[in-house]
Amino acid sequence: MKKIKVFSLIILSAIALTSCKKENEESAKVQVAETTKTEAQNDVPAKVETASFTIDGMTCEIGCAKTIESKLSGLEGVEEAKVNFEEKKATVVFDANKQSAESLKSTVEDVAGGDTYTVSDIQVTPKA
């Protein structure tokens, strides 16, 4: 009886280790594919541009301007984002391969549910 238990334990362990190995191999294949994709994206040289635009609807510096600045700064490809509450202006330095003026506009206008802020006067210039 004891031999049967030991034998069963060995078989179950072998099955568990084999199935884990297959999962690890599949996981490794996915990870290699993702790394290759990321490397391919990194091979594209950055196309740095600066977008300046007006933001209407801001009522305070900390709650509005800083929140918008934080959202813009968190976007992939954004190098720098500054929101000036007094002037109602935003300046964003970004990689045009990863973001666009339209995506920046959408991000700002979607803050606070999408009904509070309006973006206008968008000007995009290549960074020298």
pLDDT of 80 reads 95
- Whether the pLDDT of residue 20 is over 70: the answer is no
Same domain, 71 and 111: yes
Same domain, 30 and 90: no
pLDDT of 50 reads 95
User: Using 50, 70 and 90 to split pLDDT, how confident is the model at 44?
Assistant: confident
**If you count them, how many residues does the chain have?**
128
Query: How confident is the model over 100-127, as a mean pLDDT?
Result: 92
Query: Which DSSP symbol is given to 45?
Result: P
Same domain, 64 and 103: yes
Same domain, 65 and 36: no
| Chain segment 63-96, per-residue pLDDT in tens | 899 999 999 999 999 999 999 999 999 999 999 9
What CATH number did the domain enclosing 76 receive? Answer: 3.30.70.100
Distances (CA, A) of 29 to 36, 39, 45, 55: 11, 15, 27, 45
Same domain, 37 and 52: no
Instruction: For residue 107, give its domain range.
Output: 48-126
Same domain, 10 and 53: no
How many structural domains compose the chain? 2
End-to-end CA distance of the chain: 80
| Chain segment 25-42, per-residue pLDDT in tens | 555 554 555 554 555 555
Same domain, 4 and 32: yes
